[in-house]
Structure 1
Amino acid sequence: MAPGIKVIIVGGGIGGLALAIMLEAAHIDYFVLERSSALRAMGGSIALNACSLRLLEQLGLWQDIQKIAKPIGAFHLRNDDLSFTGTIDFTFGETHYGYYGYVMTRPALFELLKSRVPSTKVLLQKTVVDMVEDDYGVVCWCSDGTEHRGDILVGADGAYSTVRENMYSRLKMQNRLPPGDDRCLKPTHICVLGVSEVLDPNVFPAVRDKFSTFELMLSQSRHCSVWLSPIEGNRISWCYGSKVDAESPSLANNGNWEKTPSKTERLLDDVYGLPTAYGCKVGDIINSTPKDLVSSVLLEEKFFETWHSKRVVLLGDACHKILPFAGQGAVHAMLDGVCLVNLLYELQGASTSEVEMLFQAYHKERSGSARKAVIGSRLFGQFVIAEGRLAHWVRRIALSVLPHCFTRALTDRVMRDRPQLSFLPQIEDRGAAKAWYC
């Protein structure tokens, strides 16, 4: 077991909290530095699959997940006049991998993870501005003047990570940073999203179905897409998406869109009148969403080659920013965490050389899978939302002609990595398609 080391986690998002829960289970000392004044999450829905659900069951969270989530049944792809393009079935998930995919609100998952982390372990309003690592540990300073020491520091602070920025700045000065890692993130899409209030199941019967069927509508004339999915609690999660010009002056630093009610309303104006498979207009679902729960977010992707230095290591979006089309972002942040904690649990000493060897093993084990997730999510997004007649016919042919076994074969490649924490009782692999890690 790790010899009395202390881990500093920078970032109290889903990846940071999941890592904290795993460190708690391993009895490894840690604390979280969160820049916000409160731990909370905005956003619409989030999907988890068997790759992370087996781990969450091992951590004792499986029953709670089932209370806040719906199993995913299928994706239905439609045009904006509701004409049908095709469907992707996912109801084989439980028998094939041991779990259905599940969809829930991001705040619900966040609150569940937050409830398992002692509040004394989370320090709020701590914006890291500088750090130094040496043979004895790592020290970071926050904007409020406080100083924090540990043996290693984990940057779980998102796509625009200040930890990564600081680490890369030092590596660049030493001519040790690959040119690709020095390039800025370029947003490619903008999303406006939210979750409706509780809906009447007599008016919206789809909300009481066992499975959540994603309805994806593509509007070629408006150059946008609308995603709708029933979730637990008789609500519907919605998302408007469109491409953006990465050079647009309306894109601010750190991925923040210049967000005003008027700008958001102008984007949504294009889709208010579109019909839905639920017998209402898109605008009816949007209007049922509390205004303060509507979020706008820019989306980008990038795989970073450099994940660590002496005692600093990156996790989740900080080292592999994945587009959300295939629901892989949160999953791979958790997979990073299980790999890192397993290695920390087996750590024999806390010298710089031993920590660096641990980080090298972490990168070797996780980088290939994360890179494939970045590419796979992009390709799936291009498949489902690409515009033009050719793209339309490719979807029609792929979804109506190719057999279901082809979909399963592709999904098998994604779902085979279902690791667990090595030091906890193991969860049986209940799937017919066995995991790589039993």
Structure 2
Amino acid sequence: MASTSVTVGSSLHPDYLPLADLYNSTGGPAWSNKTGWLTNCDPCSGWFGVSCTAGRVVSLSFATFFPGNNLRGPIPASVGGLSELTTLNLSYNQQLTGTIPTSVSALTKLQTLNLSYNRFNGSVLDKLTGLTNLQTIILGYNSFSGSIPGSISALSNLKQLYGGANAFTGSIPSSLSALTNLENLDFGLNQLTGTIPPGLGNLTNLTQLQLSNNQLIGSIPASLGNLTKLSTLYLDANQLTGTIPQSLTSLTDLKLFGLSQNQLTGSIPDGLNAFTKLNALYLFQNQLTGEIPAMLGTLAQLQELRLENNQLSGTIPSSLSNLSALRLLFLQQNRLVGCIPPSLSVLCGKNVNIDNNPGLPTWSDFCATGANGLVSVKNGNWQDPTVWSCGRIPTLNDMVTLQHVITLAPVPAAQAHQIRYTGGTAKLIYETGGSLRLGR
């Protein structure tokens, strides 16, 4: 182990002691890379992760991805003595623990703070609100707690605020609307409560808004439609209610749009065809009604469309066959009826699920045989077109699924390629002379 013992005198570098404390507190001898550390008294002479300007340490950055540099243990209070520091990046070590010392509030020149992917806990944001030069705060994947302080609005230079995957509680302060330079706001995977402040619609430089997996309630503010630079909007897995605001169709730069696992009602709004850059649309597990808009078939970049677990009705639009980039289509557990449009055969082999729509045939039959399927939608006579999901009488090409009591009259003879029975009451009743021909 390198010794931290030095002769104190005029030659001692002003940043040496805080760095020596950091080394000893975080298991320095076991660091993955400790080149130069404590081998001399000048941290600006090639110490790994240290950058200097005019002889002072301005940046401390050990890693930008896993597995970090194997720092472990608490951050010493003396780190607040690095008075010229503009960048502090301790991310991806996974073993840094404890609370962030209040002395970090002395790092008044700090512009970038990255503590992500560690095991820190306790409050942190209240210790940063005086660091008005901060442009980037990245705290994700720790166990930080406490609320988002209203005084965070003092960080007027802030562009990136990532607090996701922690244990933050309380409401989102309306004062966040003052951070008009903010480009990324992420507090997903926390325990935030209350409503989404309408003032977030003032953050017109936002490109990412991520508030999913919290306990947020109330409606989605129409003002979010002002955020026309957004490429990512995730509000999934909350307790949001009301309808999807029509104003959100103004977000024409969106690539990722998620409102799933809420309690949203009403129909999918018109105008989504303006989302020409959209890669993923997640609206599943809500209480949405109405039909699937045919205009979704114009979203040429769409790769994933998830509308399952709603109350959508009507037929599957044939326009979805135009989605050449589509690799996942989930429509299960709705109230869809009718035929599967033949043009959708281009999606056979993709990840498609339309199960548990009582008025639809099965996707597997459609893809396996090239034939369409018909499903009974009510009790009645085989020769009555309104009995069948496609509104036509089955032929020898059709896979038929019986869910009801169907009567076979003497003439003409009933035909089907194959019959499957589902439900305990499904059956055929043959009138005198009635017959059924199966196969091609």
Shorter-chain TM-score: what band? Answer: under 0.3
Larger Rg, first or second structure (1 or 2): 2
Q: What TM-score results when the alignment is normalised by the length of structure 2?
A: 0.21
Q: What TM-score results when the alignment is normalised by the length of structure 1?
A: 0.21
Q: Going by fraction, where is helix more abundant, 1 or 2?
A: 1
Structure possessing the higher relative contact order (Cα contacts under 8 Å, 6 or more residues apart):
1
